[in-house]
């Protein structure tokens, strides 16, 4: 059910984000304890402000109230994706080329399911990554999660 809700919400929130000069990064709909939580993550180059989050939240809340596509009671949260932003779209892998990333895979790549390295981009469905000086081409369908690495 979570994936269907996320797809419905994506169609509703994408135009709101675009009108406000924001990028829709991700949507999560999950149960935490007794509560269902609908999280919408937005971003922009110069960073997301509290006003950005409130504006998208108000507009999306109004549309969700009118269209009522979710049959359960839920909490709506709109926020930035944080410093360990997920990479979901091809554009993300291009935009963050040169940055350190953490990638988890469904099956081992070179004996590892968790990889950390420099992102080189994406080419023909393969994420290009340098790990310990070795260039890897990781098939996108084998990636369970990709995030910007948190560096201190």
> Do the Cβ atoms of 78 and 28 come closer than 8 Å?
no
Total structural domains within the chain: 2
Closest CA to 43 of 150, 149, 152, 148: 148
Given 52, 79, 106, the domain boundary residue is 79
- Report pLDDT digits (tens) over 31-63: 999 999 999 999 998 889 999 999 999 999 999
Rounded Cα gap, residues 122 and 137, in angstroms:
9
Q: Does 84 fall in a domain?
A: no
Say yes or no: 7 and 58 in one domain: yes
Say what the pTM is.
Answer: 0.80
pLDDT in tens, 71-103: 889 999 999 998 899 998 999 999 999 999 999
């Amino acid at each position: 059910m979570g994936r269907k809700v996320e797809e419905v919400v994506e169609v509703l929130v994408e135009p709101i984000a675009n009108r406000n000069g924001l990028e829709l990064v991700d949507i999560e709909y999950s149960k935490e304890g007794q509560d269902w939580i609908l999280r919408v993550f937005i971003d922009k180059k110069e960073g997301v402000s509290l006003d950005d989050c409130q504006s998208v939240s108000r507009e999306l809340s109004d549309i969700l109230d009118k269209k009522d596509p979710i049959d359960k009671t839920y909490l709506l949260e709109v926020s930035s994706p944080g410093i360990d932003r997920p990479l979901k779209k091809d554009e993300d892998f291009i935009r963050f080329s040169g940055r350190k990333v953490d990638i988890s895979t469904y099956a081992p790549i070179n004996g590892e399911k968790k990889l950390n390295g420099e992102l080189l981009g994406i080419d023909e469905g393969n994420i290009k990554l340098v790990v310990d000086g070795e260039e890897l081409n990781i098939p996108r369908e084998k990636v369970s999660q990709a995030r910007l690495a948190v560096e201190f």
